[in-house]
Amino acid sequence: MVSLLAAHRVPDSGGGTEFADMRAAYDDQEAWLEDKVAVHSYLYSQGLVGGLAVLTAEEQTALPPWSTP
C-alpha cells in the first residue's frame, strides 16, 4: 500500500535498503502499549531546540504538559 524511505546516510556507492514492517512491530508491542499514556510537553520539546527564549515566565506557566485519557 505505502512505502516510506528515509536516507539518513547515503554511501558513495552500494548500500542496502532496510524495510521495517510497522504493523508487525505494533502487533508485537500492543500488549505492552495498552496501559501507556503519551504526554506532550511543549516546554520540553522547545527547550531542546532553544525555543523557550521567546516565551515569558507567565506564558511558560500557561503551557502545562498535555495528555489524552
Contact 43, 52 (CB under 8 A): yes
- pLDDT for 24: 93
How far, in Å, CA of 69 to CA of 59, rounded? Answer: 25
Instruction: Write down the pLDDT at residue 43.
Output: 93
How far is Cα of residue 38 from the mean position of the Cα atoms in its chain? 10
pLDDT at 69 (0 to 100):
67
CA distance 16 to 10: 10
Over 80: is that where the pLDDT of 4 sits?
Answer: no
Greater confidence (55 vs 6) lies with 55
Is pTM, for the whole model, over 0.85?
Answer: no
C-alpha cell at 49: 531546540
